[in-house]
Structure 1
Amino acid sequence: MACGAALAALAVPPAAAGPLGGGPPHWAAKDSGAPQVRFRGLAAVGRDTAWLAGTAGTVLRTTDGGASWRNVSPPGAADLQFRDVEAFDARHAVVLAIGEGEASRVYRTDDGGATWTESFRNTDPRAFYDCLAFFDRRHGLAVSDPVDGRFRILSTGDGGRSWRVLPADGMPAALDGEAGFAASGQCLVTSGPKDAWLATGGGAHARVLHSADRGLTWTAADTPLPAGDPARGVFALAFRDRAHGLAVGGDYRPGESSPRAAAVTADGGRTWRPAAAPPPAYRSGAAWLPHSRTAALAVGPTGTDLTTDGGRTWRTVDTGSYDTVDCAADLSCWAAGEQGRVARLER
């Protein structure tokens, strides 16, 4: 399953190309050993280490580049749906389970998944947590669909060991029907020590909300992505710095068209412009290529798309099904999705 010559255009610094070997980059499938699981949560620590989180309370970890995967699922979590995982290294990670009421939970491990601590359990039946993201090893946020007309933000300052709900005063009112999509763990993303962005859909406009103070206050901006239906909106965000970002999404229903499935911003999310040549269909995940100012990947059930001009134009380079994609500082990129699918970008 090769991406072919199109991926050869990836902007990888020559000095860093060595670890990837020779030849054009391509997705190299890895056997997760869990074909019954759909992995929407993915954390790329590096070329050797990655974490997966998925259905049936499943968490897997590899430390040998995907040659083998260890099932490190929290005990008693088989009824939960893990949709996001944030890993700091091979031993420390935080996972989010989604759902109404007490189905939304956060777990943390400090020993590679040998043991887990439940650090948050939602007790409000109106809340439904979708995504989490960290600024650094200590500070992070999680987001719930609107409660009392506003998105609810959960905050940690101790690496996910404890959480508190932030005041709603700084959050603008949600649109009718507006919510987040727990599709790839990328509906909430960060860049730098304080900036965070939240992707929305389901309302009259597909919006991106931005906070410059770790979630205390937010501003909202409309995007040109499809909207006006519960199945449409922005599903994933990726920022390479606090100014330049990508938004991907569309209509997740199979067979439905998704025009304007991507947009770009150069002002921190205050304004968004549509991609001149967007992906041809709904995309649920996105990631900038490490150390590149212009190259990024978007993934979805019908394929992988590549941009080499900062998100203005995209071209499909693989037709495999993936829900999420993540890259690490050592130039490694991973993707994961349905039927236990996981792959690493190799050359």
Structure 2
Amino acid sequence: MRKKLFFFSLLTIVLSCKEQILKQGSKQITFTKIISEEIYNDSISIRAIVLDSNQLWFSGNNGKYGAIDLVTQKKFRGRINKDSLHPEFRSIAKTKDAIFILSVANPALLYKISNDRKVVKLVYQEENEKVFYDSMQFLDTNFGVAMGDPVSNCLNIIITNDGGNTWQKIPCDKLPKVEEGEAAFAASNTNVMLRNNKIIIVSGGKKSRCFVSEDKGNTWQVYNTPIVQGKTMTGIFTADFYDENIGFIAGGDYEKQEDNSNNKAITKDGGKTWQLVGQSQGFGYASCIQFVPNSKGKSLICVGGTGVHYSNDSGNTWKKMLEDKDLYTIRFQNDSIAYAGGKNKIVKLTIEY
């Protein structure tokens, strides 16, 4: 009788655990495998991609940009030349009406491309020996933000309120002052994030901080982070926010790409406070971090100099999923499919749970 009672109790516990796992959703447990399939190849460095319905748009160096139809696999290639200049485009963003690509270095060139690809229009140009734009995002049809390295004593930030047709620079007297040697890295178009009316910007270099505006850039607060800093090539290289509160920053020392200490941190209060996680484990130098959709802010993927890594516990522990060190930026189509751009290629990543 005791054996029967023990067996019945054990079965009840097992069934209860199974039911709890099902309630949590199996896609929050763990990845078992990531399958990588190359879908685009060219002589190009791709650090900016954006998904628009069933299309993937990308931009890169040598003035190159393009689109891939993810259903038919039909590819479009475009190239922009301005005089003898072949711009390097490391920022890309979209609205329902157009795609925008923004170049680094002097002169900064921001182009608006119609959805049908027939109209390519220069909508903003900035000339300054220090100009270097790092990232751009749109919140909706009208409001967009681009940010770059300081040209004076503040981060270089421009905004649009008319869908990208015109752009205005936020003057330095309305922005926080930067520290000496503080800038940003155009690693994966993930330095600026928009969540409702909130703008979140991260910096790197000799100072790694988080700049937050709750009112679309009118006022700002600045918060320190524990990410490694102090040298030109250290700091936050990438960030993502699951919602207005849960965010993750990553980076490291570009010159010591295997170093995986002090290079990952999480916030749960919108960027005000940050806690280091995953110390001395997982990835080293990080080029791009992204939350997995529908994971309640628990699951993340990172691409960078030590391969593709995955965490299902808010960044506390990590598992290497792919050895590929030539991926620079990644975006999710859904919780099972992501696309990543990098050195001479774009790959489709199919996630098995």
Please indicate, yes or no, whether the TM-score normalized by the shorter chain is above 0.5.
yes
Alpha-carbon distance change, 33 to 68 in structure 1, aligned in 2, over 3 angstroms: farther
Matched, 1:31 2:36: no
Whether the 8 Å contact between 1:56 and 1:81 is mirrored in structure 2 is yes
Calculate percent identity across the aligned residue pairs: 24
Provide the rounded CA distance (Å) in 2 between the counterparts of 1:81 and 1:115. 20
Q: Which residue does 1:54 correspond to in 2?
A: 60
Deviations 1:8-29 (A, max 9, x none): x9x99579xxxxxxx9552432
**Over aligned residues, Cα RMSD in angstroms?**
2.6
Alpha-carbon distance change, 289 to 40 in structure 1, aligned in 2, over 3 angstroms: same
Provide the rounded CA distance (Å) in 2 between the counterparts of 1:64 and 1:94. 20
Deviation at 1:282, TM superposition (A): 0.4
Secondary structure at 1:340 match in 2? strand
Alpha-carbon distance change, 111 to 341 in structure 1, aligned in 2, over 3 angstroms: closer
Alpha-carbon distance change, 255 to 264 in structure 1, aligned in 2, over 3 angstroms: closer
Matched, 1:340 2:329: no
Secondary structure at 1:159 match in 2? coil
Alpha-carbon distance change, 122 to 245 in structure 1, aligned in 2, over 3 angstroms: same
Q: Which residue does 2:239 correspond to in 1?
A: 237
Whether the 8 Å contact between 1:133 and 1:188 is mirrored in structure 2 is yes
Aligned residue among 243, 252, 255 for 1:253? 255
Taking structure 2 as the reference length, what is the TM-score of the superposition?
Answer: 0.84
Provide the rounded CA distance (Å) in 2 between the counterparts of 1:66 and 1:308. 33
Matched, 1:324 2:291: no
Provide the rounded CA distance (Å) in 1 between the counterparts of 2:114 and 2:122. 12
Provide the rounded CA distance (Å) in 2 between the counterparts of 1:61 and 1:95. 12
Whether the 8 Å contact between 2:58 and 2:67 is mirrored in structure 1 is yes
Deviations 1:64-115 (A, max 9, x none): 35834210333548611010111346x7211111113x1x111111234332
Alpha-carbon distance change, 107 to 312 in structure 1, aligned in 2, over 3 angstroms: same
Q: Which residue does 1:137 correspond to in 2?
A: 141
Deviation at 1:246, TM superposition (A): 0.4
Whether the 8 Å contact between 2:307 and 2:322 is mirrored in structure 1 is yes
Q: Which residue does 1:19 correspond to in 2?
A: none
Deviations 1:12-52 (A, max 9, x none): 9579xxxxxxx955243223131x21100111235x32111
Secondary structure at 2:344 match in 1? helix
Q: Which amino acid aligns with 2:62?
A: A
Taking structure 1 as the reference length, what is the TM-score of the superposition?
Answer: 0.85
Q: Which residue does 2:80 correspond to in 1?
A: 74
Secondary structure at 2:179 match in 1? coil
Q: Which amino acid aligns with 1:135?
A: L
Whether the 8 Å contact between 1:138 and 1:158 is mirrored in structure 2 is yes
Alpha-carbon distance change, 184 to 218 in structure 1, aligned in 2, over 3 angstroms: same
Aligned length: 325
Q: Which residue does 2:293 correspond to in 1?
A: 290
Q: Which amino acid aligns with 2:131?
A: A
Q: Which residue does 2:203 correspond to in 1?
A: 200
Whether the 8 Å contact between 2:283 and 2:307 is mirrored in structure 1 is no
Secondary structure at 1:338 match in 2? strand
Runs of 4 or more above 4 Å deviation: 11-15, 75-78
Provide the rounded CA distance (Å) in 2 between the counterparts of 1:252 and 1:343. 26
Deviation at 1:125, TM superposition (A): 3.1
Secondary structure at 1:169 match in 2? helix
Gaps of 5+ in 2: 1-20
Q: Which residue does 1:4 correspond to in 2?
A: none
Gaps of 5+ in 1: 1-8, 16-22
Deviation at 1:256, TM superposition (A): 5.7
Secondary structure at 2:104 match in 1? strand
Q: Which amino acid aligns with 1:67?
A: Q
Q: Which residue does 2:91 correspond to in 1?
A: 84
Q: Which amino acid aligns with 2:59?
A: A
Whether the 8 Å contact between 2:187 and 2:287 is mirrored in structure 1 is yes
Provide the rounded CA distance (Å) in 2 between the counterparts of 1:316 and 1:222. 29
Question: Which structure has the larger Rg over C-alpha atoms?
Answer: 2
Deviations 1:255-299 (A, max 9, x none): 562422210000000011001345331001011111221111111
Q: Which residue does 1:154 correspond to in 2?
A: 158
Whether the 8 Å contact between 2:33 and 2:321 is mirrored in structure 1 is no
Aligned residue among 115, 119, 123 for 2:123? 119
